[in-house]
Structure 1
Amino acid sequence: MQSQIHSALELSFAPVAVVRTNDKPENARQFKERRWGCVMFMLAAAAAQGAQAVFDRSTYGCWGGGVGLGFGNQYKNFPGGEDGFCHFLSIGNAQSESGRQVGEQIKPHFGEDFYDDFMQGERYQQSPQRVRQFIDELPIVDNPETYVVFKPLEQIAADAPSPEVVVFLGDMDQIAGLTILANYHRPTNDNVIFPYAAGCQSIGIHPFAEAQREQPRAVLGLNDISARLALKRILKKDVLSFAVPYRLFQEMEANVAGSFIERNTWRQLRALTKKESGK
């Protein structure tokens, strides 16, 4: 399956299809069972290397990844339970006796960075109570399917079932272009949302929820600096994610011809960006 958007916007990375399925692809990359890994590693492998990746309930990489990919509320399985996570994302677990005890139990099994964040907090939310509100706002879902698969969109056969979501990675110009295409034909101007979320949630459960809407919206992502760090280390570029429910993707593909992409402003903008990057 080809994308006009990919070529028209001169995207550096391949669009990635996100598929929920009961069929496990052969030769797909997969995290080891119950071992830590970042979903962004797999997104980068699909977008930059043409690899396929597969996740299930024991190989989603981290607790946030389990939530983000639709395997239920995996925060309950975080060290110290959901309360441990609420402190981890905010003020840290060092402030309570139970938190310190859990910290000592996990210290031999995790790296220094995770232990430090567990004890002192990532400080992404003001308080544990605010984190509980954050969790309550998430469109957490328990997938009926066994697997979630990432694969380059071009590897989706024409006669295969359509992917649920298509994820683009783009620079600021390209994200602006994608936003125009998402709003080009709609009678409203709010067809892209930018919720505060983990990087995997912005390409998983948020667009999964949008796909159920009568007028699905695109989900702009990577306001999660932990995910940005992981992705930037691999791709060596500053990008944002732009996750599009498949129905909206089809509409956007139809918007390419005759749009701003054929006009001088877009050409001049891209020429300037290339000049600044030395290309």
Structure 2
Amino acid sequence: MKSLIIESLKPHLEPMVLLRSNQKPEGALQPLPDKYVCIMSFYAQVAAKGKTAVFDRETYGCSGARAGLGFGSAYGDEMGGYDTFAAFFSKGLKEAKDKEKYKEIANKVNPHVRRKLIKGERFHTSRKKAYKWLTKDLPIYDFPEKYVILKPLKDLKENEIPQSVIFNVNPLQLTALMTLAGSIREGINDTVTPQGAACQMIGAYVFHEAESDNPRAVLGMIDLAARKNIKGILPNDTLTYAVPWKLFLDLEEEAKEGIFKSPLWLDIVE
């Protein structure tokens, strides 16, 4: 589809959509079944090369992506359950509830994951805080559709309604989008920056905002784990700016006469 926002931003990377479907697109990139992988490497291929990627309940890559894509939560079932993940996302072995069990789990995984398990990813200051994020703060969805598809916005068909529209932006483009969103929303805090995985920032957190009468955009790619997996494919200054479909349509309408017509924007781009 055509977009006034894209015509104004002229981004080097593909704006994308995330949508649910019971039909699998032909020729799409897809992780191997039950293969541990960060799906943001697939995301990067869509953004940089205009590919299409597809995921299902056997090919979601990792526990974080299962929650991010709307396939339910694996945090309570995989790798020892919530207690393991709570230590993993905080300070590692030193925060483990059962240190011997935690070491047994760490010894069964590959050296790269083992190192992170022992040291901890340190996204949370304590096991208690990480446990609360896992069980209370992160919105969890389990949609009935079989597939979740990532593809360029330009390839969106007329009868398709995505759950998330994702802009891949540099700081200047982000400034314009945040200004555009702020111009139509009441109040302040027009963009949220949640703690979590990069895939959750284009998925679960956007799904949550879509339930609001006044949805906000979700600023993403603020996940160091994902940064490691997109390095060399996407520029280091790339951030994601993901919005529910309703908000995207409102932003498109305002783009006709909004910030992109301002001398402030025109002086910069011209």
Shorter-chain TM-score category?
over 0.9
Structure 2 unaligned spans of 5+: none
Residue 270 of structure 1 and its aligned partner are, at CA, apart by 4.3
1:98: which partner in 2?
Answer: 101
Write out per-residue CA displacement over residues 95-138 of structure 1, whole angstroms, 9 at most, x where no aligned residue: 611111112223xxx2x321100112111111111111111101
Q: How well do the aligned residues superpose, as a CA RMSD in angstroms?
A: 1.6
Corresponding residue pairs, total: 266
2:255: which partner in 1?
Answer: 256
Q: Which amino acid aligns with 1:100?
A: K
Distance 2:248 2:229 in 1: 27
Residue 210 of structure 1 and its aligned partner are, at CA, apart by 1.1
Q: Judge conservation of contact 2:54–2:150 (CA < 8 Å) in 1.
A: yes
Mapping 1:184-203, distance limit 5 Å:
184-203=183-202
For the residue of structure 1 that corresponds to 2:232, the secondary structure is helix
Q: Judge conservation of contact 1:93–1:118 (CA < 8 Å) in 2.
A: yes
For the residue of structure 1 that corresponds to 2:175, the secondary structure is helix
1:171: which partner in 2?
Answer: 170
For the residue of structure 2 that corresponds to 1:216, the secondary structure is coil
1:276: which partner in 2?
Answer: none
For the residue of structure 2 that corresponds to 1:85, the secondary structure is helix
Write out per-residue CA displacement over residues 172-195 of structure 1, whole angstroms, 9 at most, x where no aligned residue: 111111111112223323332111
Percentage of pairs with the same residue: 36
Residue 141 of structure 1 and its aligned partner are, at CA, apart by 1.0
2:27: which partner in 1?
Answer: 27
For the residue of structure 1 that corresponds to 2:166, the secondary structure is strand
TM-score between both structures, scaled by the size of structure 1: 0.90
Write out per-residue CA displacement over residues 208-262 of structure 1, whole angstroms, 9 at most, x where no aligned residue: 1111211221111122111122223311331111111011101101111222222
Mapping 1:153-172, distance limit 5 Å:
153-158=153-158, 160-172=159-171
Write out per-residue CA displacement over residues 191-212 of structure 1, whole angstroms, 9 at most, x where no aligned residue: 3211112101100001011112
Write out per-residue CA displacement over residues 56-84 of structure 1, whole angstroms, 9 at most, x where no aligned residue: 11100111111111111111233222211
Q: Which runs of 4+ in 1 moved over 3 A?
A: 267-271
Correspondence 1:68 to 2:71 = no
Q: Judge conservation of contact 1:80–1:102 (CA < 8 Å) in 2.
A: yes
TM-score between both structures, scaled by the size of structure 2: 0.93
Q: Judge conservation of contact 1:197–1:221 (CA < 8 Å) in 2.
A: no
Mapping 1:102-117, distance limit 5 Å:
102-106=105-109, 110=110, 112-117=111-116
Write out per-residue CA displacement over residues 25-71 of structure 1, whole angstroms, 9 at most, x where no aligned residue: 11111000000121211221111111111111110011111111111
